[in-house]
Structure 1
Amino acid sequence: MNTLDHSHRDASLKPDFSKRLLSIGIVFAVIGALAILLPAWATLAGELVIAWMLVLWGALGLWFARAMRPAREWRYAAAAFGVTLLLGLAFLLFPGVGIATLTIVMMLVFLMEGVVSILLGLRMSSNLRHWSWMIVSGVCSLIVGLFILIGWPETAVWTLGLLLGVNFLSTGLSLIMLARAAKKAV
């Protein structure tokens, strides 16, 4: 008996699935394009979303810490969540500080990832084929980090928005392509 029933299609390949996927892809691509065209606005929007998330996280965490007062560690939880709440409030009250902080963190991540990827690529060079792609990835990350660093502080205004835009656009385009493939598979 054949365990694969070709008459039964995966529910994800139904025609309405490809339409939904296409719609979501278009929305993501439009958001990405707008963020790329207006990176300063997208940076501010991204910073405000993160600020509100920190405020919510801190407030709910303090509520949790209050509920765990019978445990000795409740003070540590309250302190940690209090700092999270204060950080979120600072980002809301002073968005420029939040933007600068997030951009510095992103710059450091790109620089560290670049160095680590290059070192890892060099280490793999004797064992694996196509090891050079790891170095290319590391060089790209290093270039992005250095670009942010060299242009500091002006790069803080648009970096987060541009990177969010590229991410949304690439995600949207990939979803559009998946929707096309899913439609053909039906």
Structure 2
Amino acid sequence: MQSYLTKLNATVRPGIDGAGVKHLRLVGIILALLGALAILLPTIATFGAELLVAWMLTLWGAVGLWFSWAIRPVPEWRYGFAAFGLLFVMGVALVLFPLAGIAALTVLMMLSFLMEGLLSILFGLRSSAHVSNWGWLVFSGLCSFAAGLVILFGWPWTASWTLGLMLGLNFLSTGLSLVMLAKPARSAR
């Protein structure tokens, strides 16, 4: 009986020169470059991330409001209208008050990094018997977890640049781990 991780190994590594490995390497390189840029310009990356989220929530809310209004004959349209209205108001608030948005997003990022770190470490350790480069998953998880701890212990004084720096470190470590997973390695069978 094949386990999920054995199937994962077969799909991630269809062959040394397979298209999947090339795409994995390309995604890793792009993430690593974006991460390096965010590390070099953390305040700009923080502000950019906040604005991106703010405008996406605003757009998502506006489209959802339009959709909810369009389905008025359906009795549940009011629930959708209320939910999308809340998203729209949150997005507009983040656009109008970017410093508060940066603080809120920094807290959410801290929680995300801590959870992603733990899950990556656990997944890497579980896959050690099936994937030869499993250590890179653990490395990525440790980097994510450390990023979450830095945000936690530096709060609130470092919020203006921490989000951009931590996003950069996370993108860089994830990108490097994907590049290393795409490298040919001995089989773990």
- Which TM-score band applies after superposition, normalised by the shorter structure? 0.5 to 0.7
Match of 1:63 in 2: 66
Alpha-carbon distance in structure 2 between the residues aligned to 1:157 and 1:67: 40
4+ long deviations beyond 6 Å: none
Alpha-carbon distance in structure 2 between the residues aligned to 1:20 and 1:146: 34
Q: Of 46, 50, 57, which residue of structure 2 is paired with 1:47?
A: 50
Match of 1:28 in 2: 31
Match of 1:13 in 2: 15
Whether 2:82 is the aligned partner of 1:82: answer no
Alpha-carbon distance in structure 2 between the residues aligned to 1:54 and 1:28: 23
Q: 1:145 Cα deviation (Å)?
A: 5.2
Q: 1:98 to 1:68 in 2, by over 3 A?
A: same
Larger radius of gyration: 1
- Structure 1's unaligned 5+ residue stretches are 1-8, 118-136
Whether 2:173 is the aligned partner of 1:170: answer yes
Identity fraction in percent? 52
- Structure 2's unaligned 5+ residue stretches are 1-9, 119-141
Q: 1:101 to 1:41 in 2, by over 3 A?
A: same
The superposition leaves residues 88-147 of structure 1 with CA deviations (integer Å, 9 ceiling, x where unpaired) of 12222332221122123445x37x97xxx9xxxxxxxxxxxxxxxxxxx8x968844541
TM-score w.r.t. the length of structure 2 is: 0.64
TM-score w.r.t. the length of structure 1 is: 0.65
Match of 1:131 in 2: none
Q: Of 91, 94, 97, which residue of structure 2 is paired with 1:94?
A: 97
**Number of aligned residue pairs:** 148
Alpha-carbon distance in structure 2 between the residues aligned to 1:99 and 1:62: 25
Q: 1:83 to 1:91 in 2, by over 3 A?
A: same
Q: 1:19 Cα deviation (Å)?
A: 3.6
